[in-house]
Amino acid sequence: MDTRLLRTFLTLARTESFTATAAELHLAQSTVTVQIRSLERELGTRLVDRLPRGALLTDAGRRVLAEAETVLDAEARLRVSAAADGPPTGQVVLGAGETLCSARLPKVIAALRRSCPGVEVGLQPSDTAAALEGLRTGRLDLALLLEEEPRVPHVVTEHVADEPLVLVCSPEHPMARREAPAQWRDLAPESFFLHEPGCSYSDRLAQRLAEVGEARTRITRFGSIEAARSCVAAGLGLTLLPRSTVEESLRTGRLAVVSGPRIPDVPVRLARHRRRWVSPAAQAVADEIRRQLRDGAVDDQ
């Protein structure tokens, strides 16, 4: 069997679109159609229903999907075995949230360029939901989650570090000048500028403030940590962010720590698909992540 047909089928199963599949694989749409029909003829069953809203897998297509992934994993292992004597090479697509992309992963990539120059890391900014979906569909090889262990059957994770969180405001904000630590009831009337929904630590803070019930907290959510940080530095309110993202602003006096309730660190978890093979290149990336993030956690204390 021509494994190119399986690769096209897997891409179509993920995108649910002949047009998107053709664009991703750099093929003509007619070629994608021919390849899917060829695979259906070879297997003797319809794999895809062609509908106005897209291409959806049939029951047979869903059964074939997992086996197709296994075959392509075996092909990848075979190719790697042929070059087992050399250093790891290839592209590894890694999903991670903005916090880790900006504060933690640059040193991982820099270290890999020195130790494994043949490994190329493709970094995909992803919130938790997008990262888990990326692992499910095969768009991502690995993901870093700022999250407790997700209860998703197709994903396995390991705890690699913790990110300390800090509540900050402008040095001129009244919360920066409090003598006694603020309680939740003191924080509830304030304005907060938080990272977008889906950010685990921001969602938990918003929920905790809502539970106070004594005052309605004004919360603005941003897709950018920098936007939230800038609003807070301008004196407009408070934010909760990993300390690694505000260290420089605290050092220069642009931001100040709010003395308040204890907020637990957020765990950093390295995630991969439970069933898929981890290539030597992906293993090299995972090993460097473990080394750099664990060393970084010690350095930051």
Report pLDDT for 301: 43
Q: What would the pLDDT profile of 99-124 be if each residue is shown by its tens digit?
A: 888 888 999 999 999 999 999 999 98
Domain 3-82 of CATH type 3.40.50.1240: no
* Cα distance between residue 291 and residue 154, in whole Å: 25
Residue type present at position 36: I
**Considering only the top CATH level, what class is 90-163+267-300?**
alpha beta
**pLDDT confidence bin for 81, thresholds 50/70/90:** low
Q: Can you say whether the dihedral through the CA atoms of 204, 209, 213, 216 is positive or negative?
A: negative
**pLDDT confidence bin for 298, thresholds 50/70/90:** very low
Mean pLDDT of the chain: 88
Cβ contacts of 191 within 8 Å, gap of 6 or more? 217, 218, 219, 220, 236, 237, 238
Q: What would the pLDDT profile of 160-218 be if each residue is shown by its tens digit?
A: 999 999 999 999 999 998 889 999 999 999 999 998 888 889 999 999 999 987 668 89
> Please, are residues 199 and 97 in contact by the beta-carbon 8 Å criterion?
yes
Domain ranges in the chain are 3-82, 90-163+267-300, 165-264
* Cα distance between residue 30 and residue 259, in whole Å: 63
**pLDDT confidence bin for 299, thresholds 50/70/90:** very low
In CATH, which superfamily holds the domain spanning 165-264? Periplasmic binding protein-like II (3.40.190.10)
Confirm whether 90-163+267-300 and 165-264 share one CATH topology: yes
Average of per-residue pLDDT across 69-97: 78
